Structure 1
Amino acid sequence: MAYDVEKVRAQYPALSDGRAWLDGAAGTQVPQSVIDAVSDAYRVGMSNVGGPFESSRRAAGIVAEARAAVADLVGAPDPACVVFGPSMTALTYRFAAVLAAGWAPGDEVVVTQLDHDANVRPWMQYAQRAGAAVRMAELDPATGELPVDQVTSLIGERTKLVAVTAASNVLGTMPDLRAISHRAREAGALTYVDGVQHCPHAHVRLAELGADFYATSAYKWAGPHLAAVVAADPWSLENLYPDKLTPSPDTVPERFELGTSPFAAMAGAVAAVDHLAGLDSDADGGRVERLAVSRCSVQAHEDELAKMLFDGLAALDGVVRYGAPQGPCTPTAFFGLPGKEPSDAAAQLAERGLNVSHGHSYAWEAVHALGIGPKGGVRASLSHYSNQADVQRLLDALGEISG
């Protein structure tokens, strides 16, 4: 492994402000290469697709490159599997609308307490409109785990869809997606996976996860604000007919995308994937091969920092960590300081140069299952550009304000 975090950090202009950026779960910073890609797209000039001139062809090329880049990042078999949209929430509502068109009274949908509300509420709302039942899989509040049987026991012959996260956005828990998706497939149900917090920290291979649909957001992996839902294969999209304008393309995946594409953001997404592929200086070969090496190197780096963070939090008497998963998890810690509001704790940490999130972070079902309510907690989340100094700085600051 040739992962040099200081070399990585030097590529991020925002990190030069001297603060510890521990809010990657809310959105990462972007490297200079992504900034340049976005600005260059505007500087050179773009026109809408379909024109018989160079700027239009350039925009069409950016779209094609973006689909190919995201397909490489998550292991999709074809760029035609990639549907773009402004956010994971918007795309999930889009897919909920089209998938629910085939639901009827007596059908069932499975959601979980571990998920971000964007992978819960759309399915619940459309199920209610269709007269379908919603079954909620419960997390273990003591560990933050989502036991496989909590999900699979709810899947039956009338289950149409299982919506489950690949990684909790507050607890970091990574459920056993293979087992869940396998059971769903046995029952003839589709699996829609929220990979927003998973994709930044894992080498993603869709075939291994077994997901029918996998959602990811580029701004969580050093890219611009752009999201994608990636189908397991183009055929997963072929028999779905979302509402669209009459003259809009009827081709896949274009028929799922509303309005003009954000060409500059797509150029930034390509640059972000290329950046991720080059994080390990020893990585070589094509982009897929370089991603495999670099993503594994990032995971090893983050695992080391996560251990330092989790062990350090456990040693602080005045800090309570919510749901400490024993199995695989992302480098994310959700905690509270007894007697102190999460917003106050986050503000005190901000005064000490630490960027952390606070509140429920849209993990609405999870914060209630944990018994802490909508005020939630404080969330510290590490990224590939985090270093030991960032973690130690947080632990030292927590020691000061929790005493």
Structure 2
Amino acid sequence: MSAFDVVAVRKQFPALEEGAAHFDGPGGSQTPQVVADAVAKTMTSALANRGQLTPAERRADEIVVNARQAMADLFGTTAQGVVFGRSMTQLTYDFSRTLAKSWSTGDEVIVSRLDHDANVRPWVQAAEAAGATIKWLSFEPQTSELDDIAPLLSDRTRLVAVTGASNLLGTRPDTEAIAEQVHAAGALIYVDGVHLTAHAPVDASYADFYVCSPYKFFGPHLGALTAKPELLETLTPDKLMPSTNVVPERFEFGTLPYELLAGTTAAVDFLAGLAGLAGLGGRGDTRRERLLSSLKLVEEYEDGLRDDLEARLAAIPGVTLYGHAAHRTPTLLFRLEGHEPAAVAAHLAAAGVNAPAGSFYAYEPARHLGLGPAGAVRAGLAPYVDQSDVDRLVDALTTLAVNK
């Protein structure tokens, strides 16, 4: 039995009082009270542009410094390499354009058919603009396991973009092993950690670039990227003339959203405290240590719920499950024979179960699986999902299946 205290966790989320069972976490998690309080407190406090002259300036500076360190602790990297942006998509577009300045005809960029389009289209478009060649890393439809990248790598490879976990199928490729191959070829690796970071301990130090979205793990809507500062020093983004050239600030355009950064720090602290909510104490002297123990607990809890839900869904007549990788996040994609995915999602919503349908911007994997524009229904677990939520989803889907 898991030591994870889901009852204590659920009490931290005011949105759960509305009564819905939330399987929509892959699109954005619900928000704990402490994160909302951090955002509100920041917005009602005196703020100014960062500096050290006035209390308002110092407060703004402290918020940014704290948020960088919080994300570095989550990533297992250094605060000097943490870049914030409006979203993961925006950051990826920014870095694709910056990196492409050094590409030319004959260079090669590898993208994956397993990825969310935010880690595909920016690289495809940047490569096309530079005259570089795009190569596609595919996956096996039945297992959803990523193919071997070795045959695609060459001395002309400049960058590989790959997901840490598929937001559609949950597949978790061995990105550390891929990074070793990529680096041996003399190329860079850009890892989309949006769907992974919420579900497992992460050590992003192996990647040249690792990017995620705090709103997938209880934080506000923005993006965060980590890279080695010495690598960032070699890159020259387009920016305003008077803006700083200091790393990592040279990659952040305009004034940062201080309230969102304060919420991000609160979200990381909340994650680090999950083991404490379970009555397991601090589980480490540093925030990094507490994050590792807490996220390991989350991973074990969510995987247990996923296994139960997956087995019960498979037993429902007419249900087809997609994605059977050996290493996965707690994310299940399915269709019900005789029912359009949107109609299934509507039926579930009427039963108080939020499990949306579509392709979820995972354009390439949905097309590779032959799902078409309608996609499928996605049930994504989060730390606040409990057994009663799973029961409600299974019961509602069973009712639809037997009364078709």
Question: What letter is aligned with 2:92?
Answer: T
Q: Which residue in 2 is equivalent to 1:193? A: 191
Taking structure 2 as the reference length, the TM-score comes to: 0.96
Question: What letter is aligned with 1:204?
Answer: V
Rounded to whole Å, the distance in 1 between the matches of 2:151 and 2:197 is: 27
Question: 1:6-32 CA distances to partner (integer Å, 9 max, x unpaired)?
Answer: 100000000111110110000001100
3-state SS in 2 of match to 1:110:
strand
Question: 1:143-199 CA distances to partner (integer Å, 9 max, x unpaired)?
Answer: 11113x1x2221111000000000000100000112211010001100000000000
Question: What letter is aligned with 2:50?
Answer: V
Rounded to whole Å, the distance in 2 between the matches of 1:329 and 1:236 is: 30
Shift of 1:51: 6.2
Taking structure 1 as the reference length, the TM-score comes to: 0.97
Rounded to whole Å, the distance in 1 between the matches of 2:269 and 2:393 is: 31
Q: Which residue in 2 is equivalent to 1:257? A: 252
Question: 1:214-248 CA distances to partner (integer Å, 9 max, x unpaired)?
Answer: 011000000000111111x2111010000000001
Q: Within 5 Å, give how 1:385-400 maps onto structure 2.
A: 385-400=384-399
Question: What letter is aligned with 2:356?
Answer: S
- Asked whether the 8 Å contact 1:50–1:56 carries over to 2, the reply is yes
Rounded to whole Å, the distance in 1 between the matches of 2:126 and 2:281 is: 45
Question: What letter is aligned with 2:195?
Answer: Q
- Asked whether the 8 Å contact 2:170–2:323 carries over to 1, the reply is no
Q: Which residue in 1 is equivalent to 2:156? A: 158
Q: Within 5 Å, give how 1:89-238 maps onto structure 2.
A: 89-147=89-147, 149=148, 151-207=149-205, 210-231=206-227, 233-238=228-233
3-state SS in 2 of match to 1:202:
coil
Question: What letter is aligned with 2:244?
Answer: P
Q: Which residue in 2 is equivalent to 1:375? A: 374
3-state SS in 1 of match to 2:152:
coil
Rounded to whole Å, the distance in 2 between the matches of 1:69 and 1:322 is: 35
Q: Which residue in 1 is equivalent to 2:363? A: 364
3-state SS in 2 of match to 1:201:
coil
3-state SS in 2 of match to 1:199:
coil
- Asked whether the 8 Å contact 2:172–2:329 carries over to 1, the reply is yes
Question: 1:352-403 CA distances to partner (integer Å, 9 max, x unpaired)?
Answer: 0001121110000001100111211111100011111111111111111122
Q: Which residue in 1 is equivalent to 2:40? A: 39
Q: Which residue in 1 is equivalent to 2:73? A: 72
3-state SS in 1 of match to 2:98:
helix
Shift of 1:2: 4.4
Q: Which residue in 2 is equivalent to 1:347? A: 346
Shift of 1:45: 2.1
Rounded to whole Å, the distance in 1 between the matches of 2:29 and 2:281 is: 23
Shift of 1:3: 2.2
- Asked whether the 8 Å contact 1:26–1:357 carries over to 2, the reply is no
**Selected match of 2:268 from 273, 280, 291:** 273
Rounded to whole Å, the distance in 1 between the matches of 2:150 and 2:67 is: 35
- Asked whether the 8 Å contact 2:106–2:131 carries over to 1, the reply is yes
- Asked whether the 8 Å contact 2:111–2:134 carries over to 1, the reply is yes
Rounded to whole Å, the distance in 1 between the matches of 2:376 and 2:24 is: 13
- Asked whether the 8 Å contact 1:99–1:240 carries over to 2, the reply is yes
- Asked whether the 8 Å contact 1:283–1:290 carries over to 2, the reply is no
Rounded to whole Å, the distance in 1 between the matches of 2:214 and 2:5 is: 23
Q: Which residue in 2 is equivalent to 1:58? A: 59
Question: 1:111-152 CA distances to partner (integer Å, 9 max, x unpaired)?
Answer: 0110000000000001011111000111111111113x1x22
- Asked whether the 8 Å contact 2:23–2:355 carries over to 1, the reply is yes
Q: Which residue in 2 is equivalent to 1:332? A: 331
Rounded to whole Å, the distance in 2 between the matches of 1:92 and 1:304 is: 33
Rounded to whole Å, the distance in 1 between the matches of 2:356 and 2:115 is: 17
Deviates more, 1:247-256 or 1:276-285: 276-285
- Asked whether the 8 Å contact 1:283–1:293 carries over to 2, the reply is no
Rounded to whole Å, the distance in 2 between the matches of 1:399 and 1:2 is: 30
Structure 2, unpaired ranges of 5+: none
Shift of 1:323: 2.2
Shift of 1:47: 1.4
Deviates more, 1:197-206 or 1:316-325: 316-325
- Asked whether the 8 Å contact 1:66–1:266 carries over to 2, the reply is yes
Shift of 1:286: 1.8
- Give the percent of matched residue pairs that are identical in Structure 1 and Structure 2: 50
Q: Which residue in 2 is equivalent to 1:85? A: 85
3-state SS in 1 of match to 2:198:
helix
Q: Which residue in 2 is equivalent to 1:291? A: 291
Superposed CA RMSD: 1.0
Shift of 1:324: 2.1
**Does the alignment pair 1:243 with 2:238?**
yes
Question: 1:291-324 CA distances to partner (integer Å, 9 max, x unpaired)?
Answer: 1111111111111101011111111122111122
Rounded to whole Å, the distance in 2 between the matches of 1:50 and 1:272 is: 25
3-state SS in 1 of match to 2:388:
helix
Rounded to whole Å, the distance in 1 between the matches of 2:57 and 2:150 is: 48
Rounded to whole Å, the distance in 1 between the matches of 2:22 and 2:13 is: 11
Question: What letter is aligned with 2:190?
Answer: Y
